[in-house]
Chains A and B, each alone.
Chain A
């Protein structure tokens, strides 16, 4: 298994650059890589084996793969495969598939690395590959969105680097365990980098614009897989070191409520999905031990929602509520929305129940409120009218159907990981949460005309928020 792990982690980078040499096979190579990751991750989950590797020497790269990484890798593999299928018949050059494969490989690298420097390298490669994918259309807007993303993430990573060297200074190694005896400033700096990269709480406000203004397949990839790369190291550190757990719990609550607040009042489909990503990351972070299934179900549901939202006749909810859409599209939209709202029979239910069960009472209560808010926000999708034949002749991209079927199939199959949660009590509670959410939506939210200010998403405010977060983290670390 050790050799297999090394081969598997190197393969996407190797194949990614070979795609450039063999442009004719670009789509086949890209999908083969995601299938390989899928097989590897299923192996990790089913055998629940823990692989620990130290490459070269005691100061070399340390890797650690277990079933937690398995869930994250499986999510990444399915989302990448769906994105490749979606782009299969589109006029995308080999460059696009090269970047997609490199991005897939570096996201995988984050999910198995166990020291701060390998993590840094993987996160920076992700930043570059994601920038190239965002700015692929070469329009001014896409270049600016990409530049803004790269700038924010690189500045955050500079803070992270200072934190990493302070960890080294106190423990003599860059391994995650070193965080245990690290000084407060090291913890604050590292957390700032990871929270910003992972789009959590105020440092995640770069996310709505980036994820909503990218091309459809790229937003699916970013929201479904890439954004988890900031959360995964936090989850891993929380499992290793108990001291930082209280700080992360506060952030999980704060980001869940902030994201849901934005999502409820948002009038634009893709921005609503991006805001809900911020809130769902709070759920992933809440219970580190069961973060895997939650990240998997959220990734699949969010990717299919982004792919569907890109094929709706409009991005405005008001317009959508007046023009019926075709029923198969509505079906996909609703299934994925129900999964995120945590309705039974879809993977989101099991994941949400497991997460809420693993928490302390106060934490679970606040996150249940966030779950009601999620149901309110996604009611906007569920109550879009549908017909058998749509008069509005809207073109749906041909790769959409296989991609959506793959993701929904994954959502149904992922139920197998959480069969124990299907008790009458849990089912009743989940239905109650969703029902209350829809009721609130129908009674008051539907007619609301509130526009949230977007000033906090301006570039300078994003950078400025980093210094505020740093002060906040210092304070939390000292208390």
Chain B
């Protein structure tokens, strides 16, 4: 099962990466980058789940005698780390889309080859 999920994660990353190369439109390139970053996030979640699938929150009283049951928790560290990466990725995306908005005024088709032709010295 893990191997299948892993394959899906890398297919997402690769799909996003080839989208960046093959799509002509700058907007779609940025969306492809988002797909790629979704793949990376999924990779972190997948690796965190190796130890188990339960949310890593300590709960008392799961058992009748008040002792916490030892369940297979997911590793909290990669999840905590990827939260930071999600926020950063999201803010960069927002910033890039603002840039695209400004560029679209003079390059309404947003084709990268056209933008490059008019903006390379």
**With A141-B119, A209-B120 given, is the CB distance from A158 to B100 under 8 Å?**
no
- Nearest residue (CB) in B for A132 is B95
Tell me which residues across on chain A come within 8 A of B20, comparing CB atoms. Answer: 151, 155, 463
Of A162-170, A224-232, A335-343, A348-356, which binds chain B? A162-170
For the complex, is B15 an interface residue (Cβ under 8 Å from A)?
no
Q: In chain A, residues 186-210, which have Cβ atoms closer than 8 Å to a Cβ of chain B? A: 209
Tell me which residues across on chain A come within 8 A of B91, comparing CB atoms. Answer: 128
Report whether B85 and A131 are in contact in the complex, using a CB–CB cutoff of 8 Å. Answer: no
Report whether B43 and A165 are in contact in the complex, using a CB–CB cutoff of 8 Å. Answer: yes
CA distance A458 to B21 in the complex (A): 11
CB distance from A67 to the nearest CB of B (A): 30
CB distance from B5 to the nearest CB of A (A): 14
Report whether A463 and B21 are in contact in the complex, using a CB–CB cutoff of 8 Å. Answer: yes
The proximity string for B residues 84-121 relative to A, scoring 1 for CB distances below 8 Å and 0 otherwise, is 11001101100110011011001100001001101111
- Nearest residue (CB) in A for B115 is A144
Tell me which residues across on chain A come within 8 A of B102, comparing CB atoms. Answer: 138, 140, 143
CA distance A361 to B11 in the complex (A): 45
**With A151-B33, A213-B121 given, is the CB distance from A459 to B100 under 8 Å?**
no
CB distance from A321 to the nearest CB of B (A): 20
For the complex, is A78 an interface residue (Cβ under 8 Å from B)?
no
For the complex, is A117 an interface residue (Cβ under 8 Å from B)?
yes
For the complex, is B74 an interface residue (Cβ under 8 Å from A)?
no
Report whether A464 and B21 are in contact in the complex, using a CB–CB cutoff of 8 Å. Answer: yes
- Nearest residue (CB) in B for A461 is B21
CB distance from B37 to the nearest CB of A (A): 6
Report whether A121 and B84 are in contact in the complex, using a CB–CB cutoff of 8 Å. Answer: yes
The proximity string for A residues 122-133 relative to B, scoring 1 for CB distances below 8 Å and 0 otherwise, is 001001100100
CA distance A128 to B87 in the complex (A): 13
- Nearest residue (CB) in A for B29 is A151
- Nearest residue (CB) in B for A141 is B119
For the complex, is B47 an interface residue (Cβ under 8 Å from A)?
yes
Tell me which residues across on chain A come within 8 A of B119, comparing CB atoms. Answer: 140-141, 144-145
Tell me which residues across on chain A come within 8 A of B47, comparing CB atoms. Answer: 165, 168-169
The proximity string for B residues 68-88 relative to A, scoring 1 for CB distances below 8 Å and 0 otherwise, is 000000000110110011001
B contact residues, total (Cβ < 8 Å): 40
Q: In chain A, residues 441-479, which have Cβ atoms closer than 8 Å to a Cβ of chain B? A: 454, 458-460, 463-464, 467
Q: In chain A, residues 127-179, which have Cβ atoms closer than 8 Å to a Cβ of chain B? A: 127-128, 131, 135, 138, 140-141, 143-147, 150-151, 154-155, 158, 161-162, 165, 168-169, 174
CA distance A146 to B119 in the complex (A): 12
CA distance A318 to B4 in the complex (A): 61
Report whether B116 and A459 are in contact in the complex, using a CB–CB cutoff of 8 Å. Answer: yes
Tell me which residues across on chain B come within 8 A of A454, comparing CB atoms. Answer: 120
Tell me which residues across on chain A come within 8 A of B112, comparing CB atoms. Answer: 459-460
- Nearest residue (CB) in B for A148 is B116
Residue in contact with B103 in the complex, picked from A59, A140, A151, A154, CB distance below 8 Å: A140
For the complex, is A72 an interface residue (Cβ under 8 Å from B)?
no
Residue in contact with B77 in the complex, picked from A124, A127, A168, CB distance below 8 Å: A168
CA distance A165 to B120 in the complex (A): 37
**With A145-B119, A158-B36 given, is the CB distance from A151 to B78 under 8 Å?**
no
Tell me which residues across on chain A come within 8 A of B77, comparing CB atoms. Answer: 59, 168
CB distance from A399 to the nearest CB of B (A): 25
For the complex, is A330 an interface residue (Cβ under 8 Å from B)?
no
Tell me which residues across on chain A come within 8 A of B121, comparing CB atoms. Answer: 213, 268
CA distance A456 to B100 in the complex (A): 23
CB distance from A460 to the nearest CB of B (A): 6
- Nearest residue (CB) in B for A209 is B120
For the complex, is A120 an interface residue (Cβ under 8 Å from B)?
yes
For the complex, is B40 an interface residue (Cβ under 8 Å from A)?
yes
CB distance from A48 to the nearest CB of B (A): 33
- Nearest residue (CB) in B for A161 is B40
Of the listed residues B78, B91, B106, the one surrounded by the most CB atoms of chain A closer than 10 A to its CB is: B78
Report whether B33 and A150 are in contact in the complex, using a CB–CB cutoff of 8 Å. Answer: no
Report whether A127 and B92 are in contact in the complex, using a CB–CB cutoff of 8 Å. Answer: yes
Tell me which residues across on chain A come within 8 A of B96, comparing CB atoms. Answer: 147, 150-151
CB distance from A469 to the nearest CB of B (A): 13
**With A144-B115, A155-B20, A459-B116 given, is the CB distance from A174 to B81 under 8 Å?**
yes
| Additional 18 contacts, C-beta under 8 A, given A158-B37, A463-B20 | A59-B80, A128-B95, A140-B102, A140-B106, A141-B119, A143-B99, A144-B115, A144-B119, A147-B99, A147-B100, A150-B92, A151-B33, A155-B17, A158-B13, A161-B44, A168-B77, A174-B81, A454-B120
Question: Nearest 7 CB-CB pairs, A to B?
Answer: A144-B119, A141-B119, A147-B99, A124-B88, A143-B99, A59-B77, A161-B40
Residues of B within 8 A of A (CB): 13, 17, 20-21, 26, 29-30, 33, 36-37, 40, 43-44, 47, 50, 77-78, 80-81, 84-85, 88-89, 91-92, 95-96, 99-100, 102-103, 106-107, 112, 115-116, 118-121
* 9 contacting pairs across A/B (C-beta < 8 A): A121-B84, A140-B102, A140-B103, A140-B106, A143-B103, A154-B92, A155-B36, A165-B78, A168-B78
